[in-house]
Amino acid sequence: MKCRICKKINLKKIISFGSFPVCHKYKNKTDKDRKFRLEIGICKKCDLVQLNKLFPVKELKPKYNWINYNEPEEHLDELVNKLKSLKNINKNSIIAGVSYKEISTLKRFNRAGFDKTWYLNMKKDLDISDPKSNLETIQEKISKFSKKNIVKIKKKKADILIARHILEHSYDTINFIKSLKKLIKKNGYLVFEVPDCKDSLNSRDYASIWEEHILYFTENTLKRLFLNMNFRILYFKKYEYSYENVLILIVKFDEKLEKKNITLKKTKINFNLTRLNKDKKKIKDLINKFKLNDYKICLFGTGHAACTFLNILKLHNLIDLVIDDDRNKQDLILPNSNLKIIDSTQINKMSKILIILGVNSESEKKIILKLKNKLKNKIKFFSIYNKSKYTFSKT
């Protein structure tokens, strides 16, 4: 199999998890799942973990207009301050973003007196006509930039172009980066933010695998990608978050860049089939013990991490109820299952309940507090995330 970066047949399979539908394809009663193989590998040369086979882009396109992406933003003020201090950047500089997702960063620039900001508009700049399209189509259109696209933005080439949480979604990463380079001035800066997968690969965090994430970066593999493309790394920072850290990289193209070989720290990966089978058995046995004691088993949260966790560990048959308070999801069926999504008021009817938390850490705290206060009955919590204190992996 070919590595998506070096394009050589260097990709070695790590593990195949099975075939699953796209996580955001919530179903109606008559809908059937369309399944694709979810499998990861690592490039022997680039050391970068990546999906071996990709889901078709048209399958990743959401069928609902309310599918959204949430990333932590607490570090953005600091990032914007850093960007403002870069050489030759002043209030006349043009600051741009690759998609609507950069609006929150660009607004911070506006508040600081930078008013020349823009982001690539799906319809006007990328000719994407279906408003339900999202990152999957944006990344594809950018990678396949036509001359027409470039001409459109020629007059507003950026001094800084920001691309948060899209690089790891790119199917054709090299052309994606090359296209972004065309959107900046000769001495412009590119800013990338990606999830740091070091801990999740090392700790075997099933919830961190996602069909929309093609690439699973670590500090080392991220830096190597840009150095090999003749980008000078001007700044690197890791921000620590409760579930997944983020990596920030600011780069500048330099044709004459001397490529110093950066030391290859091998990515530590603990995913393998033997361990997966052991994990499956351990979690199933644990849940079954509670079931024997009349506990109802509840999945709380139905985002991609929760869906993937259930898919990989094959837990659907053990789940009695699926809760999500997102009103859009009410009465829809969780992909790869027959489980209907209901709201959290249903929990009150239970006398004993085991809750599998599939939500981010902020929501986790709120939910536990609320349910513990409300329910005097027996309630037990587990989390799909390895970094949560309720993780299954410590059992």
Chain residues that interact with Zn ion, rule: CB under 5 A = 3, 5-6, 10, 43, 45-46
CB of 172 vs Zn ion, minimal distance in Å: 14
Q: Strand pairing partners for 341? A: 322
Q: How far is the CB of 2 from Zn ion (least distance, A)?
A: 8
Per the structure block, which two tokens stand in for 30?
A: 């008559």
Q: How far is the CB of 39 from Zn ion (least distance, A)?
A: 16
Q: How far apart (Å, rounded) are the C-alpha atoms in residues 241 and 195?
A: 10
Our CB check for Zn ion shows the closer of 33 and 47 to be 47
Task: Label residue 279 exposed, middle or buried (CB < 10 Å: 0-12, 13-18, 19+).
Answer: middle
Which residue's C-beta sits nearest to Zn ion? Answer: 3
Neighbours of 169 (CB within 10 A): 22
Name the strands in the sheet holding 341-342, side by side, starting at the edge strand that comes first in the sequence: 341-342, 321-323, 296-300, 352-357, 378-383
CA distance 320 to 49: 35
Least separation in angstroms between CB 143 and Zn ion:
17
Q: Radius of gyration (Cα) for the chain, nearest Å?
A: 22
The CA distance from 172 to 144, in Å, is 9
Identify which of residues 5 and 318 has a Cβ nearer to Zn ion in the complex. 5
Minimum distance of Zn ion from residue 10's CB (angstroms): 5
Cβ nearer to Zn ion, comparing 46 with 357 = 46
Tokens of 231: 């980008």
Q: Of 41 and 358, which has the nearer Cβ to Zn ion?
A: 41
Q: How far is the CB of 47 from Zn ion (least distance, A)?
A: 8
Torsions phi, psi of 151, nearest 5? -60, -40
User: Whole-number minimum distance, CB 5 to Zn ion, in Å?
Assistant: 5
- Of the two residues 102 and 168, which places its CB atom closer to Zn ion in the complex? 168
Residue 46 vs 251, nearer CB to Zn ion: 46
How far, in Å, CA of 165 to CA of 246, rounded? 9
Phi/psi for 155 (5° steps) reads -75, -15
Q: Which is nearer to Zn ion, 43 or 334 (CB)?
A: 43
